[in-house]
Amino acid sequence: MSVFHVAMLGNGVDMRGIRALSAFAAASALALAVTACTGTGTTSASQTGNTGAASATGAAGKPSATPKPTPSGPAVTITPASGAAAADPSQGIAVSAAGGTLKSVTVTTQGDPVTGTYSADHASWHSTYALNVTQSYTVTAVATAVNGTTTTKTSTFRTLTPSTTFATVIFEGYQQQYGVGMPIILTFSAPVQNKAAVERSIQLKTSKPVIGAWYWDGNQTLDFRPRDYWPAHTVVSFTGHFDGVESAPGVYGYHTLTQTFDIGDSVIAVASTRTHKTQIYVDGKLKYNWPISSGKPGDDTPDGSYLTIEKENPVRMIGPGYDLLVPWSVRFTFSGDYYHDAYWSVGEQGFENVSHGCVNLSPADAETYYKLAVPGDPITITGSPRPGTWDNGWTEWFLTWNQLVSGSALHEAVVAGPNGSTFVSPATLPANTAKAPLATAMAGNNLD
């Protein structure tokens, strides 16, 4: 059986592929004593000015020249200030140099490495992500004035220990393989209010260029979906810098979540309930065109662009008048719709819809599809009088691109590649030329 794997705190843990908000117990307060660390900022240039005109006379009886004031270096400010014992990690580190430019900012810690960005004029610097909770930091900044004087300042501080924390799990498993439609699915242990801060804390690296967006499905589930299907054979690396992020007032993340997984072959199924056929495309080419029987009137297979969730050989199916072990079964809705072997309906396949909602295949065809399928392979059902239902399966492809972007707290697109990801305005993106069904989902997946 192929299942959907879950990683928590960066480790893979097996989990069945049915989305449901995980019921987490609120994380207990971290039982670490907060110790105030102090440090002394140092300045390399003299801060002493002129104390007044000299009254002494020289050997020739002439007054001595007035001493010139010693040049002062830039005024460097580091936040949090040195000695802070419970700094807010969600605010990060800010450094500024009044009257000069920053030449270097270094941060030492036993926690996660700290990166940051200078302003265009190098007059300020800010860390990229939140700081770790319950962690000590030493920041050293060097700034230079126009006249060449230099200031060096140091701040040593410690971040707070939160009384309430949240945890995050990612459904994708370590180095597991998924289909080209697979979303990244994150579940949070507590409702998230500061959704924008959570989105900003996430970094994606993809071996091939990808455009996508984050989408909040409620307050505890966050999905990433590409604008179009993932390029086949893409390696995806995820880092959630959640440690120190304040997701709600007084609620902080306490771990950094990482995961790496692969996108496999492009395997795309399109079924018509009217023509009683399904096409199977493999790596961009039509590979199979099989007869099917879908749901009979009253049990119609719902329209929509779904994704394979799991597979099992066999699956026990129980319903009105039947209790069967069904071979070669690949699930695509949570309510129990499958592509599966239906040896009992081979005579109707290609001509009539007689199932209880599943897509019936011949034994040989069902086995072939079963062996191709991994979680996240697209399955699109067309021609049914019954619309699909949001969240009855992984239904992220029911959303148009505009709907997907509007579900982000930032309302921005994500552009990812081998060097990481950035947020951009959707208006700046190149026009989308992807065509269904090979490169993207079919339009018109209406919800009920």
Q: Is 118 helix (H, G, I), strand (E, B) or coil?
A: strand
Q: Give the pLDDT band of residue 445 (cuts 50, 70, 90).
A: low
CATH of domain 31-61+69-161: 2.60.40.3780
C-alpha to C-alpha distance for 108 and 99, rounded to whole angstroms? 26
C-alpha to C-alpha distance for 409 and 407, rounded to whole angstroms? 7
pLDDT of residue 42: 32
pLDDT of residue 266: 98
Across the chain, mean pLDDT equals 87
User: Could you check whether the bond before residue 437 is cis, i.e. omega within 30 degrees of 0?
Assistant: yes
Q: Is 396 helix (H, G, I), strand (E, B) or coil?
A: helix
pLDDT of residue 51: 34
pLDDT of residue 247: 98
CATH of domain 1-17+162-448: 2.40.440.10
Per-residue pLDDT averaged across 365-373, rounded?
98
**Considering the chain, what percentage of its residues have pLDDT values greater than 90?**
81
Per-residue pLDDT averaged across 371-385, rounded?
97
pLDDT of residue 142: 98
Whether the pLDDT of residue 52 is over 90: the answer is: no
pLDDT of residue 89: 98
Per-residue pLDDT averaged across 129-151, rounded?
97
Question: How is the chain split into domains, by residue range?
Answer: 1-17+162-448, 31-61+69-161
Per-residue pLDDT averaged across 180-196, rounded?
98
> 339-351, pLDDT tens digit by residue?
999 999 999 999 9
Phi/psi for 139 (5° steps) reads -115, 130
pLDDT of residue 443: 82
Distances (CA, A) of 257 to 9, 18, 163, 237: 5, 21, 20, 11
Which residue is associated with the tokens 């495309």?
281
Per-residue pLDDT averaged across 315-325, rounded?
92
Whether the pLDDT of residue 155 is over 50: the answer is: yes
pLDDT of residue 65: 53
Amino acid, single-letter form, for residue 93: I
Whether the pLDDT of residue 68 is over 90: the answer is: no
Per-residue pLDDT averaged across 131-140, rounded?
98
Is 358 catalytic? The answer is yes
pLDDT of residue 446: 59
Is 37 catalytic? The answer is no
Whether the pLDDT of residue 17 is over 90: the answer is: no
* From 126, 241, 358, 411, the catalytic residue: 358
Whether the pLDDT of residue 27 is over 50: the answer is: no
pLDDT of residue 71: 61
Q: Give the pLDDT band of residue 20 (cuts 50, 70, 90).
A: very low
> 259-284, pLDDT tens digit by residue?
999 999 999 999 999 999 999 999 99
* From 126, 276, 340, 356, the catalytic residue: 340
C-alpha to C-alpha distance for 255 and 242, rounded to whole angstroms? 6
pLDDT of residue 72: 75
Per-residue pLDDT averaged across 430-446, rounded?
89
Where does residue 9 rank: exposed (0-12), middle (13-18), buried (19+ CB within 10 A)? middle
> 107-124, pLDDT tens digit by residue?
999 999 999 999 999 999
Per-residue pLDDT averaged across 369-381, rounded?
98
